[in-house]
Amino acid sequence: MSRTPLIAGNWKMYKTIPEAVETVEQLKEAIKDVSSREVVIAPSFVCLFPVAEVIRRSNIALAAQNVFWEDEGAYTGEISPAMLRSGGCTYTIIGHSERRQYFGETNESVNKKSKKSLEGGLKVIVCIGESLEEREKKNTFSILRTQIEGGLRGLTADQMREVVIAYEPIWAIGTGKTATADQAEEVHQFIRNQIGEKQGKELSEKTRILYGGSVKPDNIDELMAKKNIDGVLVGGASLKVESFARIVKFLF
């Protein structure tokens, strides 16, 4: 079954508003002819609306890096799905390993954020992944199974159609280490099988699963050649137009 590749750039806590606008203006020009894959960028909250104005009517979609699970209220420092949509977002990233590591994100909060985002009309990129210690103890699959079950609990089949899974081995994020294409493919197949057990084979075959972890121009082609890798969630390499454009234009 054909799945449209998705290339997402997570800018994390980088770029001021002028820097973000300049970068996306250059990126828009660099990938203007790309039509066979979906491109998403996730700037910081303050950059969302200015970037949205630049990419309007382009082939680039906008994502937030986080979201809260209520529509509104006395939640200082948080932002709702409705606010993100009004700022031009169509996606939000949920449960990134850095959110789990530094800000106490749990499978329960990932689940609450996913449900509220989907109810609010946003698509979600749900991140899962194991630490180096967990991998060395051969707990990768049990950790991922728990994250999938907890993070996606209670989602309907219709909601699951708006969910993208991003597998990001924590030991390969920002470390320069990368899971080999074969290692990534093995895990992606496991994730697809888990979705199939919960939601059925047809839906699992439609679900896009991204790889994230030190993705670079020199490993993108090998990763994207794998059957179950449907795209990538890119960190550092998405900050520079030249490297991210090369990733977007990966070779089949």
DSSP string, 82-118: HHHHHTT-SEEEES-HHHHHHH---HHHHHHHHHHHH
Retrieve residue 227's tokens: 């059957």
244 located within any domain: yes
The CATH number covering residue 194 comes to: 3.20.20.70
pLDDT, tens digit (0-9, with 9 covering 90-100), for 170-217: 877 767 676 789 999 999 999 999 999 989 999 999 999 999 988 999
Do the domain assignments include residue 108?
A: yes
Number of domains in the chain: 1
Longest dimension (CA), the chain: 48
With respect to residue 162, please indicate whether it lies within any of the assigned structural domains.
Answer: yes
Write the burial class of residue 238 (CB in 10 Å: 0-12 exposed, 13-18 middle, 19+ buried): buried
Q: Do 152 and 117 form a contact (C-beta atoms < 8 A)?
A: no
Instruction: From the candidates 98, 130, 168, 185, give the one annotated as an active-site residue.
Output: 168
84 domain residue, yes or no: yes
Asked whether residue 1 is assigned to any structural domain, the reply reads: no
Q: What is the pLDDT of residue 252?
A: 54
Beta bridge partners of 61: 40
Token couple for 168: 């990001």
Q: How do residues 45-60 score in pLDDT, each as one tens digit? A: 999 999 999 999 999 9
Residue 33, token pair as written in the block: 């002819």
- Residue pLDDT, tens place only, 61-95: 999 999 999 999 999 999 999 999 999 999 999 99
| Lowest model confidence (mean pLDDT) among 125-129, 170-174, 213-217, 229-233 | 170-174
193-216 core/surface letters (b: 16 or more CB in 10 A; e: else): ebbeeebeeebbeebbbbbbbbbb
The H or E element containing residue 197 is helix 181-199
Q: Is 168 a catalytic residue?
A: yes
* pTM (2 d.p.): 0.96
pLDDT of residue 172: 73
Q: Which of 96, 98, 130, 185 is catalytic?
A: 96
Residue whose structure tokens are 């979201």: 67
User: In which domain, by residue range, is 35 found?
Assistant: 6-248
42 located within any domain: yes
Residues in the chain: 252
DSSP assignment of 163-177 equals EEEEE--GGGSSSS-
Token pair 């990419």 is found at 55
Q: By the 8 A CB rule, do 201 and 213 touch? A: no
For the cut 60, the answer to whether the pLDDT of residue 1 exceeds it is no
